Chain A
């Protein structure tokens, strides 16, 4: 029968066009990545690749680093305490974390705002009431909200880890650092207002046996921030595997049906 004989040629041509279009697509983001001439070192994470998942222990350590170090300046306004159930905290632990924060509420019956202990449904408390206050407290620099930071930076978790470990006390010769700024190998422009946040071993006390080296803390918090930005990642990937498997089977069946149908017309001959 004909179909097999003509199929490869057609397939090839269609594939060629598809490949050409995809090449165009590949070129676009690739071009953007190169614009940051700084090479960001690759860090290995459990969620790397197409099928990776989060390491709950790492996420919890990362949350601890965020809570005890980053949260002094950086908000994570899109997250609520209840979301911490996803990283493996129990309901009681979530409630305890929430209650350790005073959240502004109100107005009460007297029309006044008041503070109360947090509830799981509350958003993470912001360290500053507004951007102006945040700038005022930080030499005019605004510490960005970290809720979706790994999606908002080229390099994602790798970049966060690199940035947190990329400080150098003495900048390379020829570079003068402005007052109140710090030299960082991986920050675009190399001058960052944030002082080195992870300074020494044991800055946080991990509950598990992991050693809290700056590198470890940077890695953990980068993992936590990735989860914060993409809490759906694991569900998404699992669902994706199932759906693509389903489609492959359905595709095979559909192709068989199509060939049967076309056999009646003497085959699907394409000139």
Chain B
């Protein structure tokens, strides 16, 4: 072999020729083929792959929508309706993109939930977790700007309200808002820059996803037991085991997605967004898209403008420091008898916040939102640090294979350990 060439183990001459010069096939083989993966994933571990697929779907449909969309206040609404009516399969592409945003958040929320429940944020995966939070923030920014593009009433007023959040910043707030708008109200310059950024950010997300996966492949995946694999008997190669398992999850995900798109495409949207934007009249109840509702509830729970904005952003930012708030050495909630229930309560609490965010900000709704906001933060700031000290975890299993194959299953993993090490 000539010097400077990568040593390739592929038989196919074309693949081999490329691989010697740029070992991309070796990399794929290593990271997605033989990559040793804990053998005990449950279906919650599908959601990372699903999020990746969802991102691809959003970019593909988005690129094709952009071929027909006109980013101008006088044309945007009509151009979207033209896509729905005149462009071949335009309605399909648009509904997939529109509901794809909702699907993306469902998938990512479950993915985050899994991380919280099984302690995937703990050492050594802190950076992996933080990159995930960055992706989440980028996603929210992208979704928000995308929702503005059809230029309906909710687009316009959502953009107005959310950009006005920045006016809460002392001294420079108003200047920042003017800068965001490119004018003195949400108008054509705003729409144009939102379109530009909405097209850009998904590719930034792709970049951070790449880092997220790179970090994952250094530390390896967590698993439902939260204990590290101790040897080959605890793992299986990613392919075909998890490619197959992810495919099953993917089809189920597609079925849910298809049901939304084909049968209730506007269910998760808001009727007011089919009214063209009118800067002179605000709709009676403006609510953000469902996936922002928990954070919207936190915003409204605080009776102070700056305080509300800080709490809302704080609710997300707190995730960055979570690995250092929860010092318990046990990852999986399965072995944390107290934390488990408080974590599940936190999950329910999140859903209640989502519900409260969709209600008018008055009376008991505000009270409920305040209690839930308090618990949201208390879980991270008080409960987890405290439990790290006082909670006595259940005994951890000796190894993944022991826990998994106990009771009746053939102990093939353990038996096969020796020959595998030779292979």
Q: Do chains A and B touch in the complex (CB under 8 A)?
A: yes
A residues bordering B, Cβ < 8 Å? 2, 10-11, 13-14, 17-18, 20-21, 23-25, 27-29, 31-32, 35, 50, 78, 83, 144-145, 147-148, 151-154, 188, 229, 231-232, 236-237, 239-241, 243-244, 247-248, 250-251, 254-255, 257-258, 261-262, 265-271
B337 within 8 A of A: no
Query: Smallest CB–CB gap between B340 and chain A, Å?
Result: 13
Asked, given contacts A28-B358, A78-B78, A231-B85, whether A265 binds B262 with beta carbons under 8 Å apart, the answer is: no
* A241: min CB distance to chain B, Å: 8
Q: Would you mind naming 30 contact pairs between A and B with Cβ atoms under 8 Å apart?
A: A2-B409, A11-B43, A17-B110, A20-B347, A20-B351, A21-B351, A24-B351, A25-B268, A27-B355, A28-B268, A28-B293, A28-B355, A31-B359, A35-B360, A145-B276, A152-B271, A152-B274, A153-B271, A188-B284, A236-B91, A236-B92, A237-B263, A244-B259, A247-B251, A247-B254, A247-B258, A251-B251, A257-B244, A269-B405, A270-B42
State the majority secondary structure of interface residues on B. Answer: helix
Assuming the A-B contacts A262-B244, A266-B412, are A29 and B267 also in contact, with contact meaning beta carbons closer than 8 angstroms in the complex? yes
Residues of chain B lying within 8 A (CB to CB) of residue A247: 251, 254-255, 258
Residues of B with C-beta under 8 A to A10: 42-43
Establish whether residues A28 and B290, one from each chain, have CB atoms under 8 Å apart when the complex forms. Answer: yes
Assembled-state Cα–Cα distance A23/B410 (Å): 40
- A148 and B78 CA atoms in complex are apart in Å by 11
- Whether a CB of chain A sits under 8 angstroms from the CB of B199 is no
- Given A148-B274, A258-B244, residue A14 in contact with residue B44 (CB < 8 A): yes
> Which residue from B224, B245, B259 sits with its C-beta under 8 Å from A258?
B245
Chain B interface, number of residues (Cβ within 8 angstroms):
70
User: Closest 10 CB pairs between A and B?
Assistant: A240-B262, A152-B274, A251-B251, A258-B244, A31-B358, A269-B404, A27-B355, A28-B290, A266-B412, A232-B91
- Give the residue of B78, B248, B400 whose beta carbon is less than 8 angstroms from that of A255: B248
Which DSSP category, helix, strand, loop or mixed, fits chain A's interface? helix
Inter-subunit contact B224/A270 (CB<8 Å)? yes
Contact of B251 among A35, A154, A250, A266 (CB under 8 A): A250
Cβ-based interface call for B40 (8 A): yes
The chain B residues found within 8 Å of chain A, CB to CB, are 39-44, 78, 81, 84-85, 91-92, 95, 102, 106, 109-110, 113, 224-225, 236, 240-241, 244-245, 247-248, 251-252, 254-255, 258-259, 261-263, 265-268, 270-272, 274-276, 284-285, 287, 290, 293, 347-348, 351, 354-355, 358-360, 397, 400, 403-405, 408-413
Cross-chain contact of B252 among A24, A240, A251, A271 (Cβ < 8 A): A251
